[in-house]
Amino acid sequence: MRFQPLLVAGLMAALALSGCLSSEEETDALQTNADVDAPPFLDYTPVDPDLDLPLLEQSFLLAGEGGNQIYVRVVRPDTDDPVPVITQFTPYTAPGQNAMLDTLIEPAVPNNQGTFDREFVRRGYAFAYADVRGTGDSEGCLDLRGQLDILDAWHLTEYLGTQEWSNGKVGFIGASYPGSEAHIAGIANNEHLGAIVPVVASTSFYHYHHNDGVPYFANHLATNAGYTQQAVAPTLNPDSGVQKLADQPLCPNAENAVVHGMADQTGSYYEWWMERNLRGQATEVQVPVLMAQGLADWNVKPDHIAHWFNDLSLADGAAKTLIAGQWGHQYPDDADDAYGPWYHYVTAFFDTHLKGIETGMFEQDVAWVQATDGTWHRSGDWPLLPEQRSSQTLFLRPEGKAAPTPGDPAEAARASWYGCADMAVLGQNAEAPVQCPQDAPQELVFLTAPFAQDTLVSGVPLVNLTVESESDFTHLIVVVDRLDGSGNVVQSKENYGYLNPTFRNGLEDPQPVPVGEPYRATIDLYPQEDLVSEGQSLRITVRSNDSGAIGSYKSGWNHLVWDGEHQNTLWLPLRPAEWEGVRLEPTQ
């Protein structure tokens, strides 16, 4: 959904004038935030891992959807007492049978915190490693998070929840693709599912490879190669010991990069992608959720949680938790946290929901979000809802400034850049690159004055542009970065927004670009928690090519247009001081 910030601001003002948004209601909203400002750990500390605990290990094949066999390896305590099961469903292959691929199981665990066996099994859990269909030692063809994956997750949960050594409660955890499988297990919603922990997890396969119609160059080619067996090494079927290649020649090309990757750089959003977009299925998740996301993750980018967390509508008594901080594609780092050591926190989550321990934790929705200055802020929603946040609109002016006030609306103006494609446009818009005009500007830059006070940008900034394009297939890219008093970039993590204007009305409503006529375009930036400190300024850059990484469009001129009817703006959602809360140390 695209929000029109000026309309939102006008609506809020109208509600305030009409008495619909009273000062008493505003006070109640702030008190609600104060209510959730309790220490995250309270008085509960998980037991330490028992390093002397005897363990059992077994592997087996179970029938997934359509009869395809799913390979599973289980490590559990050697005890007669039933235990809960924590699961990782992964295309990076279960360890044991495929030692050469073990390093692909998970992103690197920071600070040598240890493995799942140490952190969970030795605290009284069974842990199941399962291969996604078409990978590792599982049969079938890679489905890339489609409906077959959802049904497989249901079968896997059912099996693990009904074994005599299981207490009937199953949880899922994983980072990256395995994190997406945790989302998928939530959507499958088997009755034995007790809780899920998706970490840096994609919520849409399309949006992992595109941003509003703009393809991230070669992403599909690279990632698909990493998932398929023949791209890495053949594996052994645990029943027969025969190299498991027989399925692969029979798999449809619809799952490879030729169809959906490099061969189609148009950004088109069609049925195959729609099936793998989980975002419309967030309401299917009913069990407690603990999510973690790096706001500096440029692999699974932060837009994958932009609305997912708020869209989750869990069953009564189930709560959702978000931890989003300034790290990359990895599990949260204990070095700078507000919630306690990561594995202690996750164990407390599973203890609460899989073992039924009264921890006093995870009883209400809460989002812990770390700003770029290291401080942590706590709220029940993230991004903050319209009634919780404030905002600021900066007007991009023709002279290259970004200011709180527009220029003279009576003066019409234009500023131009040339979108120079650096690769052939493949697919339905096939065209060879053209020679770019020498000395033609390839971007427009707008600078703000230094900020007079610290300003915390919290959520999804929006850029509203009036554009006139001389090509029927172009890209609009916006980059926002912070500058210090000397004009130097404060840090390397800029914020980005992308739009193929063919999809300016939404991915499911493509419209031709009106060549030679002005059109309106709203560009979402990545959700962030960025502190713009007093004395710092913002630089807003508008262009078509993403520093050589994205250039799959037709070359041509683009113009920003200003007149009495049209303005160009950057809208910033802000976290008010009343909704800021800092906690640096856990209580125990």
Q: What is the largest CA-CA distance in the chain?
A: 81
Nearest to 336 by CA among 384, 385, 374: 374
Per-residue model confidence (pLDDT) at position 131: 87
Mean model confidence pLDDT for the chain: 81
- Report in angstroms the alpha-carbon separations of 86 from 150, 331, 377, 395, 489: 17, 17, 29, 50, 43
Per-residue model confidence (pLDDT) at position 553: 85
Q: How far apart are CA 150 and CA 144, in angstroms?
A: 10
Contact (CB, 8 A) for 175 and 103? no
Percentage of the chain lying above the pLDDT 90 cut? 55
Q: Look at residue 403 and tell me whether its pLDDT is greater than 90.
A: yes
Average pLDDT (187-203) is: 97
Per-residue model confidence (pLDDT) at position 166: 98
Nearest to 390 by CA among 3, 9, 1: 9
Domains annotated on the chain, with CATH:
5-35+389-578 (2.60.120.260), 55-205+278-370 (3.40.50.1820)
pLDDT tens for 568-586 read: 999 999 999 877 765 433 3
- Report in angstroms the alpha-carbon separations of 233 from 36, 137, 256, 455: 50, 12, 17, 51
In the chain, the amino acid numbered 20 is C
Per-residue model confidence (pLDDT) at position 469: 97
- The whole-model pTM stands at 0.87
Say which residue the tokens 């920003």 belong to.
Answer: 560
Q: Which tokens go with 378?
A: 């706590």
Per-residue model confidence (pLDDT) at position 12: 30
> Which residue would you say has higher pLDDT here, 493 or 390?
390
pLDDT tens for 341-379 read: 888 899 999 999 999 999 988 999 999 999 998 888 888
Query: Dihedral (C-alpha) 328, 330, 331, 337: value to the nearest 10 degrees?
Result: -20
Alpha helices of 36-146 — where are they, by DSSP H?
A: 116-119
- Report in angstroms the alpha-carbon separations of 338 from 197, 320, 323, 584: 18, 17, 9, 5
pLDDT tens for 245-296 read: 445 556 655 455 456 655 677 889 999 899 999 999 999 999 999 999 999 9
Helices 147-161 and 177-188, axial angle in degrees (round to 10): 70
Q: Which residues contact 437 (CB under 8 A, 6 or more apart)?
A: 418
∠ at Cα 79 (343, 57), nearest 5°?
Answer: 70
Question: What are the φ and ψ backbone dihedral angles of 162, each rounded to 5 degrees?
Answer: -120, 5
Q: Which residues contact 28 (CB under 8 A, 6 or more apart)?
A: none
Q: How far apart are CA 404 and CA 426, in angstroms?
A: 41
Average pLDDT (532-558) is: 86
Average pLDDT (308-326) is: 95
Q: How far apart are CA 382 and CA 308, in angstroms?
A: 9
Q: How far apart are CA 495 and CA 537, in angstroms?
A: 14
Q: How far apart are CA 336 and CA 128, in angstroms?
A: 30
Q: How far is CA 539 from the centre of its chain?
A: 25
